[in-house]
Amino acid sequence: MKLTGYLIEKYNRMINAYTCNRLVEEAGQLEIDLKITGVHDTIVTPDEIINAGEALVRRDFVINRYKWGKIKDHINQLAGRSYNERENYNIYINKYEQLRRLHSDSFLVPRYLLGTVFLPYEEIVCRIGQPFVAKGLESSMGEEIFLIERKEDLGELSRRFAPGKEWLFEEFIETSYGKDMRFYSIRGKVMACMQRSSQGDFRANVALGASVTPYEITPGIRQAARDIYEQTGLDFLGIDLLFGHDKPYFCEINVMPGIEGIEKATGVNIARQIMETIRRDFA
């Protein structure tokens, strides 16, 4: 019987979404029926889940690629298996939970604190240094990440965002300004690694224009991937580390990582390895 799955995304039509299209392409090559299912095209009633006018039926698996709300959780309930597993996926969307839960001898954890913009600027500086980084807890692609160099920068956050919004305030790792490393892990095994480099921006996100080059997979990188998998149980992860003097620093994990940059930088077919992993689970 043909394997079937839902790929949970923002919309049904993800025309220019590289990662979605690559996964669907490789699924088709493996004779897996993978249907992109948009949260914004879905309604949940007491009796059924309807997407674009049609009731969703049970499928073998789902791939989670949308972070917010309850609709994705309801779609997960229609599947025999979720990638990444829904409960831990929902935990590790949050950058604060990542920092407080994850550890490894292969990387350092920057100083951090959780708070709002009502905290005195001087108290934050006293605890984690100056400048520091402010991160939205569930942001992605470099959004809601700011370098706070002056008291006025913190005040600007209060004007741009709701005052009660919680932020992760984090030590700024100067040695990694404009660059970091991203590796893709499947169940604790590193498939590929790249360096991302930005021109004139302390962030090194591909979505913000950073360039990518292959990066050597070191024993420390392999150990970091194994440790994070043991602690999260998440099948497919993008793991970001910052460059330090002696050891890298933990930056974040991405529970719904894009694969365009790393496939193009390294030539590794990540989409195929994802879909082959899922197929083996049902063999």
pLDDT tens digits, one per residue of 105-143: 999 999 999 999 999 999 999 999 999 999 999 887 778
Environment class of residue 226 by beta-carbon count within 10 Å: exposed (0-12), middle (13-18) or buried (19+)? middle
pLDDT confidence of residue 212: 87
Percent of the chain with pLDDT over 70: 96
* 32-69 per-position pLDDT tens digit: 999 999 999 999 999 999 999 999 999 999 999 999 99
Least confident of 13-22, 88-97, 134-143, 188-197: 134-143
pLDDT confidence of residue 200: 72
Tell me the average pLDDT across 158-183.
93
The CATH fold assigned to 175-281 is D-amino Acid Aminotransferase; Chain A, domain 1 (3.30.470)
Q: Over the chain, what is the mean pLDDT?
A: 94
Least confident of 16-25, 129-138, 199-208, 273-282: 199-208
Q: Please report the beta strands in the chain, taking only residues with DSSP state E, as ranges in sequence order.
A: 3-9, 32-38, 42-44, 49-51, 54-55, 59-64, 79-83, 112-115, 132-136, 145-148, 167-171, 179-186, 189-197, 211-214, 236-242, 249-254
pLDDT confidence of residue 126: 97
pLDDT for residue 201 is more than 70: no
- Distance, in Å, from the CA atom of 244 to the CA atom of 228, rounded to the nearest integer, reads 19
Domain spans of the chain, in order of start: 3-83, 112-172, 175-281
pLDDT confidence of residue 142: 72
Structural tokens at position 110: 């920057």
pTM score above 0.95:
no
The CATH fold assigned to 112-172 is Dna Ligase; domain 1 (3.30.1490)
pLDDT for residue 204 is more than 70: no
Q: Report how far Cα 213 is from the mean position of its chain's Cα atoms.
A: 20
The CATH fold assigned to 3-83 is Rossmann fold (3.40.50)
Q: One fold for both 3-83 and 175-281?
A: no
